[in-house]
Structure 1
Amino acid sequence: MKNGEKSVFCGVLKTAKLPDRSASNICRCVKLDERKLSGYKTHDAHFMLHYLLPIPIKSFLPDHVAIALIHLCSFFQRLCQKVITLEELDFIEVEIKETINQLERIFPPSFFYIMIHFPIHLANEVRLGGPVQNRWMYSTEREMGTFKSYICNRCYPEGCIAEARVGIYCMNLFSRYWHGAVQTKFNRRARNNDECDPSDAETVSLFSKKGCPLGAMKIDPFILDNKTLSQAHAYLLGNCVLPKKYMLCKEHEKEVNNQSRRSKWSKAKNHCQNFSQWFETRSLQEDVPNLIKQLSRGPNSIAKRYSGYLINEYRFHIRQRDARRKTQNSGVTLFASTTSFASSKDKNATAADLTYYGRIVDIVELDYYSNFKVVLFKCD
């Protein structure tokens, strides 16, 4: 682990999927040893223009040239976003006119043909036709590629396509009348189906939704160290959905806040660090239900490890598994409601929803002595 990185646990339910920026074909086109690009497609050009091209431009070109080109890349990136407002359209429409004027001061007149002037009208086209995603040609190009694969006799391409489509329509019609035991594309299980194992159906869930591991267990059960075990248990106590646990959490906060002559920062630190130990002691009283008492024991030090997990119809991999793949499924983002302090002397705590980004380094299944099982993501 690099210096400055921290490993923390996050629950599978509150973890959101990051956009897969590696979906472009650009990683397969680059040949570093030969310094060549092969198989370069239109979508790769968009990917280069939106994300990659501004980086070398800023490093190697003069400032007045780099600023104009970066503004041009930013224009296309904002124009192609999924959500765009009319006010933003008015702003980028004015900005692209200024950018074109800056380019006219840099490049010779022979550079400016009709396609260079065309971006001025793109903002108005979005205003009339809606977001760009609804008018992409990528889906049509993919379908045309499928039609080309049907051609067996180049003298009669239309006949080959028509014959292949008739066969596909017939097979689709027949598959609708098979009984349920026969698996077809209409009744088969989805690739990212996150239904849990029937053997775990009776296990009490500490989160509102279960997922399922991806594949078999990676290795034999291993032993967690004390620090990792305490971090995982502390996260679980702060995020499980048991109502009585929430009341005990408020009770501990009230006890900590009643301590006089202490700053808000030290009280918040005390609640965060000592809640697990206080929770274990408080659960020994008779007014606490058995489910809370079982939770207060903490997890078993022997845990399981997986290399993939399915939850919320998303597929997650650990970083080691993604190292040998073209696409990446280890990136996550977490929205956390937390109280922030500027320093230890800060008396005005700020409660806000913060966004954290990271990559999954481990997927661990904790066993609370067969009472419940919990899967957590360990992230950098």
Structure 2
Amino acid sequence: MWFLERYLCVLKSYVRNRAHPEGSIAEAHLADECMMFCSRYIDGFATKHNRPSRNDDDDEAVDVEQGSTLFPSVGKPLGKPGNYVLRGLAKFQAHRYVLFNCSDVNPFFRAHTDEITSERDVSSNTVESIQHDKFKDWFKAHIIKLEKENGIGSINNDIRWLARGPVDAAKRYRAYNSRGYRFRPKRLDRASQNSGVVVRAKTSTYAAPDDAT
């Protein structure tokens, strides 16, 4: 609908006396302007000029103290979260994706690479393949070793959480506002024509270690 048509619809809604439509429109328009003018001098009063956008991503309501320093909250979830269980291949892929896309894990990637190449002369493709399959377990064992040698306080809590992997309990929101856009997750429940494997699009969450406060 064009802007003019929308505005004509607004003017039509102003009509209360069908015998004098012009007067009804004029009075309602004047009252609307008066209310708008007065609202500019009232703090905390929502108007068409200061009301949040449709895809508002203000995350002031998010508890920052309990958030992750590695993955700060960007945007705002919408609606009540739904619970589901994350298991099997989906859990493994979620954990691996987070590890491979976190810059704070890069030093451990390099340490693992050095450990692989020190044992034998291997190509970069072989190193990538080994890390693709075994880095998750190596990373967990390495962090536990550092905790025993240097103490729990020597390792960042977020790194410790990442090493232990995601918990089975996860949450899903119906939509998420970020950077002025609204994203709606699409759940994929389709069987592969060849293998019959069910593919599901899910998100994951991480659990703190047992000794974390």
Pair in the same fold by TM > 0.5: yes
Query: What is the rounded CA distance, in whole Å, between the counterparts of 1:144 and 1:313 in structure 2?
Result: 29
Gaps in structure 1 of 5+ consecutive residues? 1-40, 42-137, 321-360, 372-380
Which of the two has greater strand per residue?
1
Query: What is the rounded CA distance, in whole Å, between the counterparts of 2:101 and 2:174 in structure 1?
Result: 23
Aligned residue among 286, 289, 297 for 2:164: 297
TM-score (norm 2): 0.68
- After superposition, the C-alpha distances for 1:291-350 in whole angstroms (9 at most, x for unaligned) are 222321112122223322233332222336xxxxxxxxxxxxxxxxxxxxxxxxxxxxxx
CA gap 1:302/1:209 in 2 versus in 1, 3 angstroms: closer
Aligned residue among 28, 48, 66 for 1:164: 28
The CA RMSD measured in Å over matched residues stands at 3.4
SS of the counterpart of 2:205? strand
Aligned residue among 129, 134, 141 for 1:269: 129
- Counterpart of 1:282 in structure 2 is 142
% same residue = 34
- Counterpart of 2:193 in structure 1 is none
CA gap 1:268/1:259 in 2 versus in 1, 3 angstroms: farther
CA contact (8 A) 2:59 2:75 kept: yes
SS of the counterpart of 1:283? helix
Query: What is the rounded CA distance, in whole Å, between the counterparts of 1:222 and 1:154 in structure 2?
Result: 56
- Counterpart of 2:37 in structure 1 is 173
Say yes or no: does 1:212 pair with 2:79: no
CA gap 1:198/1:156 in 2 versus in 1, 3 angstroms: closer
Query: What is the rounded CA distance, in whole Å, between the counterparts of 2:164 and 2:59 in structure 1?
Result: 25
SS of the counterpart of 2:42? coil
Q: Mean Cα displacement is larger for which, 164-173 or 246-255? A: 246-255
Query: What is the rounded CA distance, in whole Å, between the counterparts of 2:179 and 2:207 in structure 1?
Result: 23
CA contact (8 A) 2:86 2:169 kept: yes
Letter in 1 for 2:35: M
Deviation of the 1:238 alpha carbon: 1.9
CA gap 1:173/1:370 in 2 versus in 1, 3 angstroms: farther
Query: What is the rounded CA distance, in whole Å, between the counterparts of 1:145 and 1:199 in structure 2?
Result: 38
CA gap 1:264/1:367 in 2 versus in 1, 3 angstroms: closer
- Counterpart of 1:367 in structure 2 is 206
Deviation of the 1:175 alpha carbon: 1.7
CA contact (8 A) 2:164 2:209 kept: no
Q: How many residues are paired up?
A: 190
- After superposition, the C-alpha distances for 1:107-164 in whole angstroms (9 at most, x for unaligned) are xxxxxxxxxxxxxxxxxxxxxxxxxxxxxxx434433443454456678665554333
CA contact (8 A) 1:283 1:293 kept: yes
SS of the counterpart of 1:235? helix
Aligned residue among 190, 197, 200 for 2:63: 200
For 1:51-62, list aligned pairs within 5 A: none
CA contact (8 A) 2:59 2:76 kept: yes
Letter in 2 for 1:250: R
Deviation of the 1:235 alpha carbon: 1.2
Deviation of the 1:201 alpha carbon: 1.9
- After superposition, the C-alpha distances for 1:29-65 in whole angstroms (9 at most, x for unaligned) are xxxxxxxxxxxx8xxxxxxxxxxxxxxxxxxxxxxxx
Deviation of the 1:199 alpha carbon: 6.3
CA contact (8 A) 1:300 1:369 kept: no
Query: What is the rounded CA distance, in whole Å, between the counterparts of 1:229 and 1:315 in structure 2?
Result: 26
TM-score (norm 1): 0.42
Aligned residue among 71, 80, 93 for 1:231: 93
Q: Mean Cα displacement is larger for which, 204-213 or 162-171? A: 204-213
- After superposition, the C-alpha distances for 1:40-98 in whole angstroms (9 at most, x for unaligned) are x8xxxxxxxxxxxxxxxxxxxxxxxxxxxxxxxxxxxxxxxxxxxxxxxxxxxxxxxxx
- Counterpart of 2:186 in structure 1 is 319
CA contact (8 A) 1:212 1:309 kept: yes
CA contact (8 A) 1:307 1:363 kept: no
CA gap 1:197/1:165 in 2 versus in 1, 3 angstroms: closer
Deviation of the 1:263 alpha carbon: 4.0
CA contact (8 A) 1:176 1:186 kept: no
- Counterpart of 1:36 in structure 2 is none
CA gap 1:315/1:174 in 2 versus in 1, 3 angstroms: same
CA contact (8 A) 1:151 1:161 kept: yes
CA gap 1:370/1:145 in 2 versus in 1, 3 angstroms: farther
Deviation of the 1:170 alpha carbon: 1.0
Query: What is the rounded CA distance, in whole Å, between the counterparts of 1:296 and 1:370 in structure 2?
Result: 9
CA gap 1:234/1:215 in 2 versus in 1, 3 angstroms: same
CA contact (8 A) 1:256 1:271 kept: no
Say yes or no: does 1:251 pair with 2:81: no
